[in-house]
Structure 1
Amino acid sequence: MKKTLLSLAFAVGFALPAFAQQQITVVNFGGANANAQKKAYYEPFEKTGTKVVPVEYNGEQARIKAMVETKKVTWDVVEVESPDVARGCDEGLFEKLDYSKLGGKADLLPAAVSDCGIGIFVWSTVMAYNGDKLKGTPSTWADFWDLKKFPGKRGMRKGARYNLEFALMAEGVKPADVYKVLATKEGAERAFKKLTELKPSIQWWEAGAQPPQFLVAGDVALTTVFNGRIDAANREGKNLKITWTGGIYDLDYWVIPKGTPNKDAAVRFIAFASTPEAQAEYAKNIAYGPTNTKALAKLDAKTLGNLPTSPANSKDALQFNLKFWADQGEELEKRFASWAAQ
């Protein structure tokens, strides 16, 4: 009898891992984006047998670096912004991706494909205003700078990125030429000079939730903002409007920290989240554009009309130039910090 019990215990001991549900930790930026990911990606993926544990962060790459260097990786899939994909890949913080296990590259936007990261969605920094408070319809960045035509304060993200590009477009530089001009000493001078015109009227923001709050409260007449934040506010009954002309679009990416013990499950999750069906569901929950081009056919006209990737919204848009900011960003951000402090 004792021998039989020992055999049974031995058998059960080895069987336990098969019954334990596998789980992965997926890290995101929180807010409306996290809620959309939960509905489109986490909950449906959990039906395949792997639990998703969501964690929020603010893009601190140092936390990933510490995990990788100490070989104590507890994050399996992380959402990162475009500047961090290339940098983290170069530093050996992320696993190289095998696209044959992720559904291939053919249906993905070219910008969504990189060695260590796969695009999750396209987002845009745009101009917005409160449809209940502003008289008239601003249509260009020149209007954003026109304090007589549209009196009131201007909300802008505190940093050089985006603002220098917007300043040049307000000067009349075409989106296609912005980075060519900004790369010159004269062009940078021109952008800062244009920003100085507006400086007394700027109300800075640092968190994505702030611009819609500024608009609703009437603190600013116009603001730069992430388009998804306007969509989220309008889903709560607000009447905030977007001007898409000269918006700057960029992508967020999934990466897998190097050394995760759950790499196979992480790959399966990313493959699932990159399908047209999952990406279409995500776009229905927040107005960020799919990176899988086949997802667009699964969306209705109203949803498409709110996306930065729709033809009407993207025709005068500018793609954030990662290489430019990698090469010149540090110098321009230092100059901006000095300028803002004056």
Structure 2
Amino acid sequence: MKIMNTKKGSAVHTSRGVTLAALVAAAAFTLGCGPQAPEDPAITAVSWGGSYGRAYRGAIQVPFMDETGIRVDMEDYNGGLAQIRAQVDVDAVYWDVVDLEMADAMRGCDEGLLEPIDIDMLPPAPDGTPAREDFYPEMQGECGAGMLFYSTVYAYNADHFPDERPATMADFFDLEKFPGRRGMRRVPQVNLEFALIADGVPLDDVYATLSTPEGLDRAFDKLDTIKDQVVWWEAGAQPPQMLADGEVVMSTAYNGRIFNAQILEEQPFVIVWDGQVLDYGQLSIVAGTPRLENALRFVAFATTGESLAAVARRISYGPARRSGEPLVTTHLATGVEMAPHLPTSPENIARALRNDWEFWVDNQDALNERFSAWLTRAN
């Protein structure tokens, strides 16, 4: 069953003449109708691994399999569209549902790599509020269902700073005041924003500044000041390990990974929320999957308020739906109150920069190229 891409607003039909909206509606309806027959094909869900992957499995994968009888195989990846593009280009799709960063979800939709998903066909909130009103507006895309609010922050190991401690984004770039190696993700996004914030650019002006040649130069110049002290990471599980091993004294990281290290492993890590880049996760379906109906059932299940809250009670990422928020009470394993650890809490969001995914959709390729060239250039 393969979706034919059409322009926005037109009807979307499968090759069997069934509308995608009807498939989504059927998927949502059949979630409450018990397990399917054993011969129904398994699906592959792809996500970020590590502590988030464990939360995903406990909150979504296992309950979905128990409720529907559909096997879900999990795979980990480090983001991006390259593997999805390769599968779609050769018409050999073996991934079905993928956790994507918002900019990648939008780019993938534009390129025809992802199936359109009609938000109006997703299950309503428990009180009957339609999905479109229940999902936060920034979580709504044409080819994805909103998952979670998460943020890239920086964190430090308190054991390395017995006296004065880092408190601002500028401190991350201050090697004189806070000496030691830094960890940063090997991509331009967030690093460029952090560099400008550290250099004094107001949060409201960061993307306008990055949109100019002078602003980009300024960001790369700021990165130059710490480049020879940076250890580059690619997988979200790496920063907590680097901090624990003493490979770095502070690192950019996903807030939930640091939370789990703090709470479950009792690591002496401290999150600096100043200048956090707040981002949005989308759950998308790879275009051309022959397991479309089961993939839709999985998306409908995974993006209910109850499922999203179940994830947020295992790792500190905020639900994409309003109905999920009251259900995020305490950490499931330890009983710790979750509210102070969410990136969307009033205290933490006060100095947050919301990721401008449109900027990255427009500039990703050019900035990837420039960032790669910058990495190989000697200072």
**With structure 1 as the length reference, what TM-score do the two structures score?**
0.88
Look up the equivalent residue of 1:338 and give its one-letter code.
A
| Structure 1: distance between partners of 2:80 and 2:95 | 13
Counterpart residue number, 1:10: none
Contact 2:183–2:250 (CA under 8 A) maintained in structure 1: yes
Look up the equivalent residue of 1:115 and give its one-letter code.
E
Counterpart residue number, 2:352: 317
By how many angstroms is 1:291 displaced? 0.6
| Structure 1: distance between partners of 2:38 and 2:200 | 64
Q: Secondary structure at the match of 1:106?
A: helix
Q: Secondary structure at the match of 1:189?
A: helix
| Structure 2: distance between partners of 1:146 and 1:23 | 50
Counterpart residue number, 1:3: none
| Structure 2: distance between partners of 1:111 and 1:26 | 23
Counterpart residue number, 2:6: none
Counterpart residue number, 2:204: 176
Contact 2:43–2:71 (CA under 8 A) maintained in structure 1: yes
Question: How many aligned residue pairs are there?
Answer: 326
Q: Which has the larger share of helix?
A: 1
Match of 2:222 among 186, 194, 202: 194
| Structure 2: distance between partners of 1:91 and 1:262 | 21
By how many angstroms is 1:269 displaced? 1.6
Asked if 1:109 is matched to 2:129, the reply is no
**% identical equivalent positions:** 43
Cα distance change of structure 1 residues 22 and 161 upon mapping to structure 2, 3 Å threshold? closer
Asked if 1:204 is matched to 2:239, the reply is no
Counterpart residue number, 2:171: 143
Contact 1:248–1:319 (CA under 8 A) maintained in structure 2: yes
By how many angstroms is 1:142 displaced? 1.3
**Structure 1 regions of 5+ residues with no counterpart?**
1-16
Cα distance change of structure 1 residues 212 and 63 upon mapping to structure 2, 3 Å threshold? closer
| Structure 2: distance between partners of 1:192 and 1:255 | 33
| Structure 2: distance between partners of 1:232 and 1:152 | 24
Cα distance change of structure 1 residues 271 and 195 upon mapping to structure 2, 3 Å threshold? same
Cα distance change of structure 1 residues 204 and 261 upon mapping to structure 2, 3 Å threshold? closer
Contact 2:48–2:236 (CA under 8 A) maintained in structure 1: no
| Structure 2: distance between partners of 1:18 and 1:212 | 42
Counterpart residue number, 1:233: 261
Task: Name which of structure 1's ranges 212-221 and 69-78 shifts more when overlaid on structure 2.
Answer: 69-78
Look up the equivalent residue of 1:154 and give its one-letter code.
R
Counterpart residue number, 1:7: none
Match of 1:121 among 119, 136, 148: 148
Q: Secondary structure at the match of 2:135?
A: coil
Cα distance change of structure 1 residues 94 and 239 upon mapping to structure 2, 3 Å threshold? same
Counterpart residue number, 2:4: none
| Structure 2: distance between partners of 1:161 and 1:69 | 26
By how many angstroms is 1:18 displaced? 4.5
| Structure 2: distance between partners of 1:312 and 1:148 | 29
By how many angstroms is 1:274 displaced? 1.3
| Structure 1: distance between partners of 2:227 and 2:92 | 46
Contact 1:296–1:304 (CA under 8 A) maintained in structure 2: no
Counterpart residue number, 2:296: 267
Counterpart residue number, 2:60: 41
Contact 1:101–1:267 (CA under 8 A) maintained in structure 2: no
| Structure 2: distance between partners of 1:171 and 1:61 | 31
Contact 2:80–2:104 (CA under 8 A) maintained in structure 1: no
Report runs of 4+ in structure 1 exceeding 6 Å deviation. none
Contact 2:135–2:321 (CA under 8 A) maintained in structure 1: yes
Match of 2:327 among 298, 316, 321: 298
**Structure 2 regions of 5+ residues with no counterpart?**
1-35, 124-130, 331-336
Contact 2:48–2:78 (CA under 8 A) maintained in structure 1: yes
Counterpart residue number, 1:68: 88
Match of 1:255 among 270, 281, 284: 284
Counterpart residue number, 2:374: 339
1:201-257 alpha-carbon deviations (Å, 9 max, x no partner): 323223322222222122322211111221222212212110111011212211112
| Structure 2: distance between partners of 1:158 and 1:279 | 29
| Structure 1: distance between partners of 2:158 and 2:58 | 29
Counterpart residue number, 1:9: none
Counterpart residue number, 1:6: none
Cα distance change of structure 1 residues 183 and 97 upon mapping to structure 2, 3 Å threshold? same
Contact 1:102–1:267 (CA under 8 A) maintained in structure 2: no
Asked if 1:78 is matched to 2:78, the reply is no
Q: Secondary structure at the match of 2:71?
A: strand
Task: Name which of structure 1's ranges 324-333 and 285-294 shifts more when overlaid on structure 2.
Answer: 324-333
| Structure 1: distance between partners of 2:85 and 2:298 | 22
Question: If you compute each CA radius of gyration, which structure gives the higher value, 1 or 2?
Answer: 1
By how many angstroms is 1:158 displaced? 2.4
| Structure 2: distance between partners of 1:266 and 1:158 | 31
Asked if 1:92 is matched to 2:112, the reply is yes
| Structure 2: distance between partners of 1:339 and 1:95 | 35
Look up the equivalent residue of 1:133 and give its one-letter code.
H
| Structure 1: distance between partners of 2:99 and 2:213 | 34
Counterpart residue number, 1:217: 245
Counterpart residue number, 1:26: 45
By how many angstroms is 1:279 displaced? 1.0
By how many angstroms is 1:114 displaced? 0.5
